Amino acid sequence: MFLPENIDLAHSEKYTLSVRLLPNGFSFCIYSPTDPAVFSYKETAFGNRLSYTDNVKKMIFDLGFLSQVFRKTEVVLVSDRFTLLPAPFFEAKSAGEVFGFNFLREEGETVLCNKLSCNNIALLFGMDEEIHAFLLRSLWNPIFTHPMARFIPAFLACEDEKNGKRCHVDFQDSMLSVVCLNGDKLLSANVFSYSDASDALFYIVSVWEKQGLNQLVDSLYLSGKVEKQKYTVEILRKLIKNVKPMNFSLKTPIPQEDAASVPTDLKMDLCG
Residues for the chain: how many in total? 272
Domain stop point among 122, 146, 170: 146
H helices of the chain, in order, are: 52-62, 95-102, 129-138, 148-156, 197-210, 230-239, 264-270
Q: Does residue 121 sit in the same domain as residue 166?
A: no
pTM, 2 dp? 0.92
In a domain, 169, yes or no: yes
Four-residue CA torsion sign, 63, 69, 70, 74: positive
Q: List the domain range (segments joined by +) for residue 163.
A: 159-245
- CA 225, CA 37: separation in Å to the nearest integer? 24
Q: Does residue 173 sit in the same domain as residue 133?
A: no
In a domain, 262, yes or no: no
- CA 138, CA 145: separation in Å to the nearest integer? 17
The enclosing domain of 183 has a CATH number of: 3.30.420.260
Evaluate whether 77 touches 21 at the Cβ level (below 8 Å). yes
DSSP 107-153: TTEEEEEEEETGGGEEEEEEEEHHHHHHHHHHSSS-EEE-THHHHHH
Domain stop point among 146, 174, 192: 146
Number of separate domains in the chain? 2
Evaluate whether 175 touches 223 at the Cβ level (below 8 Å). no
Q: What does each of the 272 residues of the chain score in pLDDT, given as a tens digit?
A: 578 899 999 999 999 999 999 999 999 999 998 888 899 999 999 999 999 999 999 999 999 999 999 999 999 999 999 999 998 888 888 888 888 888 888 888 999 999 998 888 999 999 999 999 999 999 999 999 999 999 999 898 876 555 679 999 999 988 999 999 998 899 999 999 999 999 999 999 999 999 999 999 999 999 999 999 999 999 999 999 999 998 877 677 787 778 788 999 998 888 76
Q: Does residue 39 sit in the same domain as residue 77?
A: yes
